[in-house]
Structure 1
Amino acid sequence: MSVQESTFPGFANPVDPSPAELRAWAYQPDSVPLTSMPPDWDLLVAGDRLVMTLFDLAMDRSCPARRFALHCLYIYAADGIRTKFRAHPRRRFRKLVDQAERGGDEVMRTWAHNARVLLARPELFVYRDWCEGGLVRENRRLD
């Protein structure tokens, strides 16, 4: 039985979900609505421990929570860049960007492009775009 076919029972600790729990939820996001999650849940899960899971979910065009995962990747990228990679390893960030450019669809290539633009020009950071989902909703490429 795959993750997509099983029933998601909920999070043992929603503030610190496991990669398996996040993946199971992502394929059944209506089982635990985002509105029932702790405040700023997106900021809580957009860290190093779950970034590879979030990346895989964002790369999967069939994932029902793909936009949420992509939103968390924007948070992750901005957090790393704005802290000069004290918050997240530069190497992991670059690996994700490279992977998105090589194997991602247009949405993921846009994320990678925007991350590279922000890396080159950190002054372009706008909280609404990077942390409140603006770039995800608009699927806009930064100049």
Structure 2
Amino acid sequence: MSVQESTFHGFANPVDPSPAELRAWAYQPDSVPLASMPPDWDLLVSGDRLVLTLFELAMDPTCPARRFALHCLYIYAADGIRTNFRAHPKRRFRKLVEQAERDGDELMKIWAHNGRVLLARPDLFTYRDWCEGGLVRENRRLG
């Protein structure tokens, strides 16, 4: 039985979901609407513990919560770059970018491109674009 076939019944602790819970929710996001999550839930889940799960979800064009996962990857990238990689390991970020460039579709290639641009030009950071979903909604490449 796959994650998509199982029924998701909610998070044991929504502030600190497990990778399995996040994955199960992502394939049935209407089971627990985002509006019912704690404030700034996107910021809470965008850390090292869940980044590989978020990346996997963002890489899956069939995932119903793909845009949310991609949004979280933008937060993760910005958080790492803006803290000079004190918040997240630079090596992990680079590996994700390289994998997105190699195996991702256009959305993931744009995320990788934007991550590389921000890495080279941290002054291009705007909270709206990176943390409030602007780059996901507009699906644009930074210059």
Pairwise TM-score range, normalised by the shorter structure: over 0.9
Determine helix, strand or coil for the equivalent of 1:101: helix
Q: What CA RMSD, in Å, does the superposition of the two structures yield over aligned residues?
A: 0.2
Q: Return the letter of the residue paired with 2:96.
A: L
Q: How far did 1:21 drift? A: 0.0
1:16 equivalent to 2:16? Answer yes
1:78-105 alpha-carbon deviations (Å, 9 max, x no partner): 0000000000000000000000000000
C-alpha separation between the residues in 1 aligned to 2:98 and 2:46?
19
Corresponding pairs, count: 143
Q: Return the letter of the residue paired with 2:61.
A: R
Q: How far did 1:138 drift? A: 0.4
Runs of 4+ in 1 over 6 A off after TM superposition: none
Q: Tell me which residue corresponds to 1:3.
A: 3
Q: Tell me which residue corresponds to 1:72.
A: 72
1:51-85 alpha-carbon deviations (Å, 9 max, x no partner): 00000000000000000000000000000000000
Q: How far did 1:122 drift? A: 0.1
Structure 2: give runs of 5+ residues left out of the alignment: none
C-alpha separation between the residues in 2 aligned to 1:136 and 1:82?
19
Q: Tell me which residue corresponds to 1:89.
A: 89
